[in-house]
Structure 1
Amino acid sequence: MLFENSLAFARRLDQADPLRSYRDRFHIPERNGEPLIYLCGNSLGLQPKTVRQALDRELGIWQQHGVEGWFEGENPWLTVHQRCKQPLAQIVGALPSEVCPMNNLTVNLHLLLTSFYRPQAGRTRILTIGGDFPSDQYALETHLQTRGLNPADALIEVFPRTDEHTWRTEDMLAAIEEHRDSLALVLMSGLHYYTGQVFDMAAIARKARAHGILVGFDLAHAVGNVPLQLHDWGVDFAFWCSYKYLNSGPGGVSGIFVHEKHHRAALPRLAGWWGYDETRRFDMTKGFSPMAGADGWQLSTPTVLAMAVHHTALQITDEAGMEALRQKSERLTGFLEFVLKQSGHPLKIMTPVNPAERGCQLSLLIENDGKAVFNRLTEQGIIGDWREPNCIRLAPAPLYNTFEEVWRVGQVFREA
């Protein structure tokens, strides 16, 4: 599409937007009675207006039924996680049996490492990207230490080339090829939090699988943002949070994917009673017998109120559909790139130019006075995200951001 840098053009795009009604289904933060331009969905998505009703419904069940809420009513809490499985499966490209909402992201990472990091003689190492999200770095370091391994030896980190900000797919594949005989696992983000780069997960999974190496992805910044086909790609496992593009609230429930090829395997795991065979869970007997599929990795009793928020938010994303969301996302982000370049401001966009290699985020590298520019944006009612030492992340989310908002961001940069 050929963009025009004008308010009239932005408004025409909004008028023609088939998803424009979804904005009205979210609470837009305000300052002094005026809506803010919220471009921080990559950190915390906005609140769906249906959340309060969903919470009130569960609070009413608690009030009226007490403990019997686990068993009574149209939607008993005993099966609360099952309500989320179908929409999650659609969003990540999986079978319903392969996904489960549970716990928080780093807890799930450790659980899945227990099952899928299986070092053997000659194959003990994990390949990842250098500079991945700190939580993943800490989890890998400490998990390796619990196995009696030195992270400095057991962890292979692949970095971008000198003077480049993003990774080349051929370098990732070459690293897997080079270390194939020593690798037990490839584990990395599917979309990099800092640069906004989407990795070619299909190619990475295919290369790892060709050498008998298991592969897993952290999808915190990818789920609900970019198209995923985890089952068809042959990914072994994945995990994510739900409070960014899935809009499930601060600290919202995480989720996991475990490919069906592993469902009947005798994998080591850390178990809890909610992962026990549901038909016999209340027998309270010794000897762990897991539920089928991804559900067997559950640990503790689910947080019903968080699940209620998650379910109502997932319904919005599922209804809109990832194909339509992706189409608008590419156009929104492309328009943001256009108006920023038209602004004349001395900034560098480190996020890949190719729309297929990025989600709805642009990471702006501002060498001089970047924090002052960020503060200026905030003063003008534009909520983005500052990352040290000199990066501003802006993420126009297709469910609630508009082309007019993006155009106004360009105007602020032009004035600055």
Structure 2
Amino acid sequence: MSNKNTLAYAQQLDNEDPLKAFRNRFHIPKLKGKDVIYFTGNSLGLQPKSTKTYINEELDDWATLGVEGHFHSQKRPWFHYHKFSKEALAKIVGALPSEVVSMNSLTSNLHLMMVSFYRPTKTRHKILIESGAFPSDQYAVESQIKFHKLPYNEALVEISPRKGEHTLRTEDIISKIEEHKDSLALVMLSGVQYYSGQFFDIQKITEAGHQAGAFVGFDLAHAAGNVPLELHKHEVDFAAWCSYKYLNSGPGGVSGIFVHEKHGNNPDIPRFAGWWGHNEEERFKMEKGFKPMEGADGWQLSNVNVLSSAAHLAALEIYNEAGMEALREKSLKLTGYLESLLKELQDEGFLQMITPTEPNARGCQLSLLVTHNGKAIFEHLTQSGVVADWREPNVIRVAPVPLYNTFEDVFNFYDILKKVIF
């Protein structure tokens, strides 16, 4: 047995971790009085201890100021609330502050983006997505195609892994784009695939889509706050994400969008309009004639959900302090350590890690294909204090998040899983 397969080694790694103090900034759920091993930040991130303070500040302003809180709040006037998250979000997704805004929910935002960027014509009407995309994405794309009264099976193009493989090869995605280049209107993929944990090559896919004459957008639900992103540099047309997974902003937390400045500064691009996207200087004139704000702000519909956004700001403050570069560095080590431990179980034939082995092609999630008794193993893990995620038909997803998970968490998970299997 390698010395890496010991609790002492994991504790040594934790002692050397420059981000170790951030765990204390979060509430860790407990089972029978003991911290659980929480490996589902890819589904719902943990609550920062500062969240309650941020929300209570807005509740206090509401109680003492009423409607005047829109302009006279002590810390964060509600009228400008969407602006307070811009700098942090821009750093997380690799954008200009003007290219991002937090608003609505993820699927609502995907629909709004497709209003602007899925404009089918007689010759260009197809949408390319990955087969097995998250159901919301599948349903959103299906309904958009049907809304335009197009034949669904003809307009939808799906790309699947090769036989016997679990992830998509970048060259196959590019080949599929090339195959449909004359009829392709939109490429819309995940940033990180929810089931396999694969981190797609956003730059190469975007370049291929643009060369084919299509718009390119991404659902970053499992990517934002998880992997390094350069949306502006890579000239992605649009993206949307949720904030309740890796961004730790609470169940159903406010979503966000990215619109590249080449589109955001074009007032003539089609969109569904609302008054919060209207020229801020003229908003309260209540006049006809929509004049969009520049940048992503021009896609806003309604005034900000302040209480949800307060939770978002509390989490983003922590991200700002830690920094995506440092978080990514720890994430690579943490997930790499988990992979090295699980390799023993994979070699014995008890499970298969279907997430890419190349560190730059994944985030902090490993998807474990269990060869037999998968659901029973998962239930035993749960009873043993491991909070993981089961996905039909036989995959256990585990995500050691660098903000609050430890190397000791990783070792203890491996130790419990090994005992369950053997």
Does 1:406 find its partner at 2:407? no
> 3-state DSSP class of the match of 2:290?
coil
> 3-state DSSP class of the match of 1:415?
helix
Alignment of 1:13-412 (within 5 A): 13-73=13-73, 74-265=75-266, 266-343=268-345, 344=348, 346-412=350-416
Deviation of 1:116 after TM superposition, in Å, equals 0.6
Moved more, 259-268 or 162-171: 259-268
> 3-state DSSP class of the match of 1:288?
coil
Task: Work out the CA distance in 1 between the residues paired with 2:3 and 2:228.
Answer: 24
How high is the TM-score relative to the length of structure 2? Answer: 0.97
> 3-state DSSP class of the match of 1:386?
strand
Letter of the 2:279 counterpart: D
> 3-state DSSP class of the match of 1:126?
strand
Letter of the 1:374 counterpart: F
Is this contact kept in 2: 1:169–1:200, CA < 8 A?
Answer: yes
Task: Work out the CA distance in 1 between the residues paired with 2:334 and 2:265.
Answer: 43
Deviation of 1:342 after TM superposition, in Å, equals 2.6
Structure 1 residues 104-148: Cα deviation after superposition (integer angstroms, max 9, x where no partner):
000000000000111123111111111100000000001111111
Alignment of 1:2-13 (within 5 A): 4-13=4-13
Deviation of 1:212 after TM superposition, in Å, equals 2.4
Deviation of 1:312 after TM superposition, in Å, equals 1.1
Structure 1 residues 15-55: Cα deviation after superposition (integer angstroms, max 9, x where no partner):
00010000000000011211101000000000000001001
Letter of the 1:87 counterpart: A
Deviation of 1:264 after TM superposition, in Å, equals 2.9
Is this contact kept in 2: 1:345–1:413, CA < 8 A?
Answer: no
Deviation of 1:207 after TM superposition, in Å, equals 1.1
Task: Work out the CA distance in 1 between the residues paired with 2:250 and 2:289.
Answer: 36
Letter of the 1:185 counterpart: L
> 3-state DSSP class of the match of 1:191?
coil
Letter of the 2:194 counterpart: Y
Is this contact kept in 1: 2:71–2:78, CA < 8 A?
Answer: yes
> 3-state DSSP class of the match of 2:4?
coil
Task: Work out the CA distance in 2 between the residues paired with 1:3 and 1:273.
Answer: 61
Letter of the 1:6 counterpart: T
> 3-state DSSP class of the match of 1:4?
helix
Structure 1 residues 295-326: Cα deviation after superposition (integer angstroms, max 9, x where no partner):
01011121100011101101111211111111
User: RMSD between aligned alpha carbons?
Assistant: 1.1
Deviation of 1:67 after TM superposition, in Å, equals 0.3
Q: Which runs of 5+ in 1 are unaligned?
A: none
> 3-state DSSP class of the match of 2:43?
coil
Change (3 A) 1:66 1:3: farther
Letter of the 1:254 counterpart: S
Letter of the 2:250 counterpart: G
Task: Work out the CA distance in 2 between the residues paired with 1:21 and 1:264.
Answer: 41
> 3-state DSSP class of the match of 2:24?
helix
Task: Work out the CA distance in 2 between the residues paired with 1:341 and 1:284.
Answer: 63
- How many residues get paired? 415
> 3-state DSSP class of the match of 1:71?
helix
Task: Work out the CA distance in 2 between the residues paired with 1:330 and 1:358.
Answer: 9
Structure 1 residues 325-352: Cα deviation after superposition (integer angstroms, max 9, x where no partner):
1111111111111112234561111101
Moved more, 364-373 or 224-233: 364-373
Task: Work out the CA distance in 1 between the residues paired with 2:197 and 2:72.
Answer: 45
Is this contact kept in 1: 2:86–2:101, CA < 8 A?
Answer: yes
Deviation of 1:259 after TM superposition, in Å, equals 0.1
Letter of the 2:405 counterpart: N
Task: Work out the CA distance in 2 between the residues paired with 1:389 and 1:154.
Answer: 28
Moved more, 221-230 or 326-335: 326-335
Moved more, 120-129 or 239-248: 120-129
Structure 1 residues 207-250: Cα deviation after superposition (integer angstroms, max 9, x where no partner):
11223221000000000000000000010000000000000000
Deviation of 1:173 after TM superposition, in Å, equals 0.6
Task: Work out the CA distance in 2 between the residues paired with 1:397 and 1:345.
Answer: 27
How high is the TM-score relative to the length of structure 1? Answer: 0.98
> 3-state DSSP class of the match of 1:393?
strand
- Using the aligned pairs only, state the percent identity: 57
> 3-state DSSP class of the match of 2:189?
strand
Letter of the 1:354 counterpart: E
Task: Work out the CA distance in 2 between the residues paired with 1:149 and 1:95.
Answer: 36
